[in-house]
Amino acid sequence: MYDETAIARRVGELGAEITDWYSDGDLLILGALKGSVIFFSDLIRRIERPLQVDFVIASSYGSGTESSGAVHLVYDPETRLEGKHLLLVEDIVDSGRTLNRLMGVLRERRPSSLEVCALLHKHIPTALQERVKFVGFDAPHEFLVGYGLDHAEDFRHLPYIASL
Q: Where are the domains of the chain?
A: 4-60+80-163
Residues 111 and 83 sit within 8 Å (Cβ to Cβ): yes
| % of the chain residues with pLDDT over 90 | 67
Sorted by sequence, the CB contacts under 8 Å of residue 141 that are 6+ apart come out as 122, 124
Residues 51 and 27 sit within 8 Å (Cβ to Cβ): yes
Catalytic residues, which ones?
A: 94
Amino acid at 98: T
How many other CB atoms sit within 10 Å of the CB of residue 1?
17
Model confidence pLDDT, tens digit, residues 14-35: 999 999 999 999 999 999 988 9
pLDDT surpassing 70 at residue 110: yes
pLDDT at 80 (0 to 100):
86
Domain 4-60+80-163 has CATH 3.90.1150.10: no
pTM of the model: 0.89
Query: 70 pLDDT band (50/70/90 cuts)?
Result: low
**74 vs 105, higher pLDDT:** 105
pLDDT at 72 (0 to 100):
58
Query: 100 pLDDT band (50/70/90 cuts)?
Result: confident
CA distance 32 to 97: 14
Mean pLDDT rounded to a whole number for the chain: 89
pLDDT at 77 (0 to 100):
73
Of 33-37, 72-76, 152-156, the least confident: 72-76
The separation between the first and the last C-alpha atoms of the chain, rounded to the nearest angstrom, is 10
CA distance 8 to 28: 22
Report the pLDDT averaged over residues 48-55. 95
